[in-house]
Amino acid sequence: MPTLKITKGKLGAKTKKASDGDDSKNAANLKMQQRDIKGMEEMFWAVKYQIDQLDEFKKRLENPNIWDMIYESYDLYSNPRKRMQIELLREVIFELKRDYNKEFDGLERFKEDQIFLIKEKNELIKELLSNLKTEDELFEPDTHILENPDHIFNVKESDVTVEKYLTKEERAKLEEERRRQEERERAMQGDNVGQRGLKTMMGGTELNLKKESNLAQMELVREDWMNKPQEQMSDEEKFKLKEFLQKEKEFKDKQRKAWEQDLKKIKSEIVEIQLRFEERISTLFKKKLFFDVRIMEQELAIIRLTIMLHDAKETVIDEKKYSEEKVKLE
């Protein structure tokens, strides 16, 4: 197949025919240029690799990660690296324990929140039981004494057998606290807007009951003539009294059913809170098993490296001993 060769010369211009010496010289120059280009490419990628390594090293310094610093198994060919690996593995164990402690602290805060919710719901249950004039056993959440290690630093009043001396400032402070406590109790007994708002948010039981009772008071108003003996009443008054008593009975039955329904609802919410907490603690227990396994893995690796260092030391001692014996025998 014919080919068309385009040259830089003009059309029709005569070109000088290259000699054999020029061809060999051009080939040598081309080969040298290719070698220079290849060397420059190698130099470029070597510099780029060094820059990338420096950038990666800077990132590790800014955000250190212990896992990136651990040697691979095939890199542990010298005793200094083995000693460094032992210290790194100890740091890994510390990191694992710290991560688990964060999970545990989160669960502890979650438990405190759930205990607060249950206590608030128990207050609503007490009000409902008082309205129903019945008694029932309440679930009272409490913390174990071992959950608070700082309790050993707390001194109770019963621990002090002598009368405590109070300074003038301490007596004034106690008097001020007592006065504030009395004000809080009076506010709790009165119409506390904040408390009603909280209870409304927790279920709205108090607000619902007050609405129902207000409606009942508007509808069921016992007039004065209803208190007189029935012998003095007319037939129309007797009919109205009978109708009033029937409405009053229906309202009380309706109100009692509403209270019982609210009581059942709040108890079911407490059970849901318990189940939710048990699910969280079960998940944390599984995580604890996982963390225990990982910690044991690192501890076994530390033991293995320690044995290797000990064997290497014993080998050096034995080598020195046998060399000295060899010299004596010679």
- Of 228 and 140, more confident: 140
At position 246, the amino acid (one-letter code) is Q
Say what the pLDDT of residue 200 is. Answer: 52
Q: Are 263 and 129 in contact (CB under 8 A)?
A: yes
pLDDT tens track for 132-164: 888 888 888 877 788 777 878 887 777 777 777
109: nearest Cα among 287, 277, 269, 275: 277
Say what the pLDDT of residue 12 is. Answer: 47
Percent of the chain with pLDDT over 90: 22
Q: Domain spans of the chain? A: 27-64, 88-142+246-330
Q: Sign of the C-alpha dihedral, residues 104, 106, 108, 110? A: negative
pLDDT tens track for 107-134: 989 998 998 999 899 888 888 888 888 8
Token couple for 320: 């020195």
| Predicted model pTM | 0.55
Say what the pLDDT of residue 188 is. Answer: 60
Summary mean pLDDT of the chain: 78
Is the pLDDT score of 53 beyond 60? Answer: yes
Give the mean pLDDT of 85-91: 91
Say what the pLDDT of residue 102 is. Answer: 93
Say what the pLDDT of residue 13 is. Answer: 46
Say what the pLDDT of residue 57 is. Answer: 65
* Cβ atoms within 10 Å of 63's Cβ, excluding its own: 8
Give the mean pLDDT of 251-256: 84
Residues 151, 85: Cα–Cα separation, whole Å: 40
- Cα-based distances in Å from 274 to 139, 267, 277: 10, 11, 5
Within the chain, how many helices (H) and strands (E) appear? 7, 0
User: For the packed helices 193-201 and 79-132, what is the interaxial angle rounded to 10 degrees?
Assistant: 110
Token couple for 330: 């010679």
Residues 182, 191: Cα–Cα separation, whole Å: 15
Is the pLDDT score of 74 beyond 50? Answer: yes
Is the pLDDT score of 65 beyond 70? Answer: yes
Token couple for 273: 């809170």
- Of 288 and 201, more confident: 288
Percent of the chain with pLDDT over 70: 77
Say what the pLDDT of residue 284 is. Answer: 94
* Cβ atoms within 10 Å of 265's Cβ, excluding its own: 13
Token couple for 196: 């009603």
